[in-house]
Amino acid sequence: MTSESRYIDRELSWLEFNQRVLDEAACLENLPLERLRFLAITGSNLDEFFMVRVGGLQQLSASQGSSADPAGLTPDEQLAAISDRTHRMARHQYALLAEIESLLAEAGLIRVHPEDLVERQTRHLEEVFSNEVYGVLTPIAVYRDEPFPPLPGLSLAVCVRLDPPADAPDRQSRFAVIPFGRNVARFITLPAEGGYHYLLLEDAVRVHVDRFFPGEKVAECVPFRITLNADLALREDQASDLLSHMREVLDARKASDCARLEIAAEASEETLGFLTSKLEVEDRDVYRLPGPIDLAAFFRLADARGFDKLRDEPWPPQPSTAIDTGESIFETLAHGDVLLYHPYESFEPVVRMVEEAAVDPDVLAIKQTLYRTSRDSPIVAALAKAAENGKNVTAVVELKARFDEARNMAWAENLERAGVQVVYGVKGFKTHAKACVVVRREPHGIQRYCHFGTGNYNEATARVYSDASLLTSDEDLCADAVAFFNAITGYSQPQTFRKLDAAPIGLREKLMELIEGETERSRQGQKARISAKLNSLVDPDIINALYAASQAGVKIRLNIRGICCLRPGVKGLSENVRVVSIIDRFLEHARIVYFRHGGDERVFLSSADWMPRNLDRRIELLVPVETPALRKRLLHILGTYLKDNVKSRELNPGGTYKQLHPTERHPAYRSQDELYREVVGAVRAAEQSRRTAFEPHLPEPTGA
């Protein structure tokens, strides 16, 4: 096998991940609005893929970059392969949209086309257009000899082609664009006898486009959307003011090159040619779409009220049986560590830990990393309150969290005004670790409490992302956490930790040591096993170490949700490696790693995927879980995923995935369903235990 064929191309592997999401949109066992949601996810995923990955490859291509990636493809070869794959994917997306819309229409959720408007709907549309649309939208003339007007990326617009005036000497069509912006509703509700009828904004504009051009003859009005390259580097070495330079990067995105042009399939060659020429878009980056542009917009429709029968029954997060809501979270942790597995178990204890610390008079300090949070984050509010209450509060805010930069800058400034010491990450690295430390004065002295997580401090995404949280008062872990914060907020050298390992120094080496340890034990005839649940596996050194382990006989079982550049099942290379990916109602995001370690089993939670960026260019943490009961639970969770034969796909050596199916020997087993039922069962058992416990009612003590 050649060195190049040892690896699957990263970009093509990501596209196969998006295909697995699209397969859920195609799954007939999923209810219609859930299928629509999966379809919207594929649209949103592709938007970011083109902004970042394709935009970056286009920059490499334009700079004559010809070096091949580990899979042996040059930027131009990757762009050609991506174009072919995404055009096929787009055809699949829009075939599914037509199918799903037909099912929704049968249930009364109907997209009305302009030609199907009845008189009452026509009158209503005229009123809405006059009051809410016409005065907001602004047409912009586009001249052939002048630059194209700047349009916001991923914002829908229509291109209007006007017939030339009778006395025009060149008899050339004229063009204008009408950008929609983000403050006009995409879905216009129409009156109907029952159900929900709606018209798309672009259809409403097409019906009334003449009003924007009185006295002109409109020859054509077609929707289009541009995707701008968002892969713009932040040169921290030239930025004395990181906050100011970050704003410059965001402004630069608005004027960056066009990475993709999406346009209605019915667009004329004249209009298409005009847009591609003005935007300087290559043919391979043009997508003629036979349906509504911007599938991500259909998230809103997937949440339509009154159609609960068309979506899954909710799985609300359950309270952890390890936490007594009647006592302080610090009292609970004084008795032992707590493991939470979200979203099956509520994220509320993590929020409560910070909120309690903010008002607890015995708490002296809070240190917290913040990568992505919700819009009205209770954790951010608690940190501000803690500072206002006189506590020493430090927040390590990552301004370079892609596409959340503007939000992070806004609430970072709010935190500063409240008195929080805000540190904008570490120069040259993204701070991706998830950690919080609370320092508390107690009768026996200073006590520290920590939270380590695999997901962000975002209570909203914690309801749909699968993540793990470790709450602990372990002396070594808490000492390491304090040393970690001191290292990234000051000028100190990277620390030697007691138990933690951190990237960019130490974590890669630790993983290689653990993998090579299993390899050596297997060569000596001992049992050896590696199991990991990750979002992505890309790093060539880690992959090569896993190949060597497989060749030594180590059993390797990997649950990789997204990108996997390792080829499993190749004779003489990786026949002992099995890779599965699970796509279900919750986004798999937890990172759990296991090594048999000669019977002294090692289990870790991690903020890092096995990618060069995580191991070399980010601040990450690898956290050991040592409490036997918690370690056992994590191993059970890993095993549950590996038994899935309903929502699991297995990676084959060629880079494609095979859907697994139940058999007579292996009945249907859906991991997310099993995990939720286990948590619900534990809560019910705890409630039953409390109801059946006899507590004597003692008489009130009498006075002497």
Q: What is the CATH number of the domain that holds 257?
A: 3.30.1840.10
Query: What is the mean pLDDT of the segment spanning 130-144?
Result: 94
Q: Mapping DSSP to helix (H, G, I), strand (E, B) and coil, where does residue 433 land?
A: coil
Same domain, 459 and 558: no
Q: Find the catalytic residue in 342, 432, 451, 589.
A: 432
Q: What's the pLDDT band for 397 if we cut at 50, 70, 90?
A: confident
Phi, psi of 651 (to 5 degrees): -80, 130
Tens of pLDDT along 252-292? 434 468 999 999 999 999 999 999 999 999 999 999 999 99
Question: 405-418 and 378-388 helices cross at what angle (nearest 10)?
Answer: 20
The DSSP string of 19-76 is HHHHHHHH-TTS-HHHHHHHHHHHHHHHHHHIIIIIHHHHHHHHTT-----TTS--HH
CA distances to 32, 110, 635 from 306, in Å: 14, 13, 41
Domain end, chosen from 278, 310, 342, is at 310
What does the alpha-carbon distance between residue 13 and residue 566 come to, in Å, rounded to a whole number? 10
Same domain, 97 and 238: yes
Greatest distance between any 2 Cα atoms in the chain: 114
Domain annotation covers residue 690: no
Q: What is the dihedral of CA 49, 53, 59, 60, to 10 degrees?
A: -150
What does the alpha-carbon distance between residue 624 and residue 474 come to, in Å, rounded to a whole number? 11
Tens of pLDDT along 449-488? 999 999 999 999 999 999 999 999 999 999 999 999 999 8
Query: What is the mean pLDDT of the segment spanning 116-121?
Result: 96
Dihedral over Cα of 102, 108, 114, 117: its sign: positive
Same domain, 289 and 393: no
Tens of pLDDT along 49-106? 999 999 989 988 888 766 888 999 999 999 999 999 999 999 999 999 999 999 999 9
**Closest by Cα among 364, 332, 371, 363 to 348:** 332
432 is catalytic: yes
High-pLDDT (> 90) share of the chain, %: 80
pLDDT of residue 407: 65
How many domains does the chain divide into? 3
Same domain, 456 and 525: no
Residue 596 belongs to domain with CATH number: 3.30.870.10
Domain annotation covers residue 419: yes
Strands (DSSP E) along 360-499, which ranges? 363-370, 392-397, 421-423, 430-431, 435-442, 445-453, 465-472
Same domain, 181 and 261: yes
Q: Which H helix or E strand runs over 595?
A: strand 592-595
Q: Mapping DSSP to helix (H, G, I), strand (E, B) and coil, where does residue 219 land?
A: strand
pLDDT of residue 691: 73
> What is the residue range of 484's domain?
330-495
Average pLDDT, the chain: 91
Q: Tokens 């970072």, residue?
A: 412
Residue 465 β-bridge partners: 587
Domain annotation covers residue 563: yes
Parallel, antiparallel or unpaired: strands 156-162 and 174-179? antiparallel
**Closest by Cα among 19, 27, 14, 10 to 585:** 27
Same domain, 426 and 535: no
Domain annotation covers residue 25: yes
Same domain, 362 and 292: no
Domain annotation covers residue 701: no
At CA 81, angle to CA 75 and CA 87, rounded to 5? 130
Domain annotation covers residue 320: no
Same domain, 144 and 177: yes
